[in-house]
Amino acid sequence: MCYDLAVIGGGAAGLASAITASRNKESVIVIEAGNAIGKKIIASGNGRCNLMNTGNLRYYGDEAFARQVLSQCSAADQQQFWNDIGLVTVTESENRVYPCTFQSASVMNVLKTALRLYGAEILLNAPVHACRKTDGQVFRIDAGDRAITARRVLIATGGPAGLKHCGKETGYSLLEKFGHHIIPVRPSLVPIRTEGKSISGLSGIRARCGISLKDNAGNVLHHENGEILFTDYGVSGICAMQCSRFVDEKPCYLEIDFAGHLFSDEEALISELRSRKKMFGTMPPETLLLGLLNARIAYAVMKQAGVPMKGETLDETDDSILRCVVRALRHYRIGVTGIRDMEDAQVTAGGADCREFYADNMESRIMPGLYAAGEVLNVDGDCGGYNLMFAFGSGILAGRNRRKKADSSAEGDEAG
Ligand SMILES: Cc1cc2nc3c(=O)[nH]c(=O)nc-3n(C[C@H](O)[C@H](O)[C@H](O)COP(=O)(O)OP(=O)(O)OC[C@H]3O[C@@H](n4cnc5c(N)ncnc54)[C@H](O)[C@@H]3O)c2cc1C
């Protein structure tokens, strides 16, 4: 049989599109390389699955394209999609939307039920290694040992982020065979590697702070406020991972502000330190920051401030040292040596060039009938549900397949 739609990849984008198309009475097959669909959905949000975000959009890569896609399939439209297939959601802090069970398994349950209900077929253990248009009308897809024909094909093969064995990124080569271009891929939302000295002894500590990634000229490349996690190789946690996208080959460093959320300005901080110095005068210098900071961070800050840590009391230290402590507290410097590998990343930056696709139905501008959605495209988002929101949203649009208006770079055709 010739399917109306063959979806290559049973992840968020592929499943959303398969449900949308099969609900519209199209015959659909989902072709999945692995032994199960939705593996990244299950892993997402630490098993809680942060589905989407109702706040401001936070995308990189082709950000404009992401905005266009999500203006056609907004958070409200996606909420409707979830309502229609029976998932109850809740919105938590920072506009993060989760299934009300806080279990990604619930998301997979409703997706699988909808696929069954609307009759979409699932083919597992079937890696697609070739796809071509046969007679100018239908596509032939070679999947494992099966050949499948379809009138429309959606490439929803995701990216290599989070996968143990990279190098099987056939989605990109399938698209390249049709003349599409791939923006080089790299890991994003990934922990940052740093030099060892300034994180020594801090592994395992979480800290609330401001974190800035700066180049060696002191220019801020990216800034976040929130929580970081020190590790034995560097810095992790949402804020650090959101800075990782801006680490490139140029030398850079992290500047941590451990006190900005506690004191409105440096004068308030210095007067606090003066009164502590008076109060703990007969004690060793490391006493100065106890009760204000985690003890191990306090020690590291004092060391970076150049406070002599042995054989003196606070009374014996010069008052000018307080300025150095304030500086180290607000501008704690950690040299960056790189980022962790694709395997440790949550999302892939780079991917298929979005300019070669229509943002209202995800169809190729090069090859009619070919579509791409989700992480395979050159869009990546911040933590907070943005990546699944783009994957589900673009998948829904590909399944709906409505060209709403001809855009300036299209040839003026308006499909129904
Ligand atoms: C640990 C982790 C946690 C995350 N948490 C969140 C979160 O809480 N919120 C959020 O928004 N995002 C999160 N993300 C990111 C999010 O999961 C992805 O961006 C999203 O799942 C991408 O969906 P996709 O459908 O484009 O690709 P995928 O989900 O990667 O699906 C692609 C599918 O295609 C299959 N495939 C690949 N090549 C072939 C082929 N040649 N033939 C057949 N099948 C093929 C793959 O096996 C896979 O099943 C997380 C990612 C990770 C790794």
Residues 94 and 172 in one domain: yes
Atom of ligand 1 nearest to the CA of 374: 26
Separation of CA 8 and ligand 1 centre (Å): 12
Atom of ligand 1 nearest to the CA of 388: 11
Task: Decide whether any atom of ligand 1 lies within 6 Å of the 386 Cβ.
Answer: yes
Task: Decide whether any atom of ligand 1 lies within 6 Å of the 190 Cβ.
Answer: no
Separation of CA 370 and ligand 1 centre (Å): 20
| Residue 12 maps to a domain | yes
At residue 89's C-alpha, the angle toward residues 83 and 90, to 5°, is: 145
Question: Of 317, 340, 363, at which residue does a domain stop?
Answer: 340
Minimum CA distance residue for ligand 1 atom 4: 44
User: What type of residue sits at position 33?
Assistant: A
Residues 167 and 205 in one domain: no
Q: Provide the CATH number for the domain around residue 123.
A: 3.50.50.60
Distances (CA, A) of 124 to 1, 30, 33, 35: 18, 8, 6, 5
Task: Decide whether any atom of ligand 1 lies within 6 Å of the 160 Cβ.
Answer: no
Residues 24 and 49 in one domain: yes
| Residue 407 maps to a domain | no
| Residue 50 maps to a domain | yes
Q: Which long-range contacts (CB under 8 A, 24 or more apart) does 79-86 make?
A: 79/52, 81/16, 81/19, 81/20, 81/392, 81/396, 82/51, 82/110, 85/19, 85/110, 85/111, 85/113, 85/114, 86/110, 86/113, 86/114
At residue 128's C-alpha, the angle toward residues 122 and 130, to 5°, is: 140
Which residue carries 């209900």 as its tokens?
117
| Residue 375 maps to a domain | yes
Residues 234 and 248 in one domain: yes
pTM, rounded to two decimals: 0.93
Residues 182 and 34 in one domain: yes
Residues 64 and 9 in one domain: yes
Is residue 211 a contact partner of residue 243, using CB atoms and an 8 Å limit?
yes
Which residue carries 């150049």 as its tokens?
306
Is residue 137 a contact partner of residue 152, using CB atoms and an 8 Å limit?
no
Using CB atoms within 10 Å of the CB of residue 147, give its burial: 0 to 12 exposed, 13 to 18 middle, 19+ buried.
Answer: exposed
Q: Which residue range is the domain that position 232 belongs to?
A: 191-340
User: What type of residue sits at position 43?
Assistant: A
CA atoms within 13 A on the CB side of 315: 5
Q: Is 319 helix (H, G, I), strand (E, B) or coil?
A: coil
Task: Decide whether any atom of ligand 1 lies within 6 Å of the 350 Cβ.
Answer: no
Round to whole Å and give the CA distance between 183 and 168: 17
| Residue 214 maps to a domain | yes
Residues 203 and 90 in one domain: no
Residues 166 and 218 in one domain: no
Which residue carries 């029976």 as its tokens?
86
Q: How far apart are the first and last CA of the chain?
A: 25
Task: Decide whether any atom of ligand 1 lies within 6 Å of the 284 Cβ.
Answer: no
Task: Decide whether any atom of ligand 1 lies within 6 Å of the 40 Cβ.
Answer: yes
Dihedral angle of Cα 195, 187, 38, 146, to the nearest 10 degrees = -130
Residues 227 and 176 in one domain: no
Helix residue spans in 30-89 (DSSP H): 39-43, 63-72, 75-84
| Residue 136 maps to a domain | yes
Residues 310 and 382 in one domain: no
Task: Decide whether any atom of ligand 1 lies within 6 Å of the 144 Cβ.
Answer: no
Question: Of 309, 340, 371, at which residue does a domain stop?
Answer: 340
Residues 262 and 366 in one domain: no
| Residue 410 maps to a domain | no
Round to whole Å and give the CA distance between 333 and 413: 55
Question: Of 322, 340, 358, at which residue does a domain stop?
Answer: 340
| Residue 408 maps to a domain | no
In the chain, the number of structural domains is 2
Residues 266 and 353 in one domain: no
What are the pLDDT tens digits along the chain (416 aa)?
Answer: 999 999 999 999 999 999 999 999 999 999 999 999 999 999 999 999 999 999 999 999 999 999 999 999 999 999 999 999 999 999 999 999 999 999 999 999 999 999 999 999 999 999 999 999 987 789 999 998 899 999 999 999 999 999 875 445 579 999 999 999 999 999 999 999 999 999 999 999 999 999 999 999 999 999 999 999 999 999 999 999 999 999 998 999 999 999 999 998 888 999 999 999 999 999 988 889 989 999 999 999 999 999 877 778 888 888 888 999 999 999 999 999 999 999 999 999 999 999 999 999 999 999 999 999 999 999 999 999 999 999 999 999 999 999 876 554 444 333 32
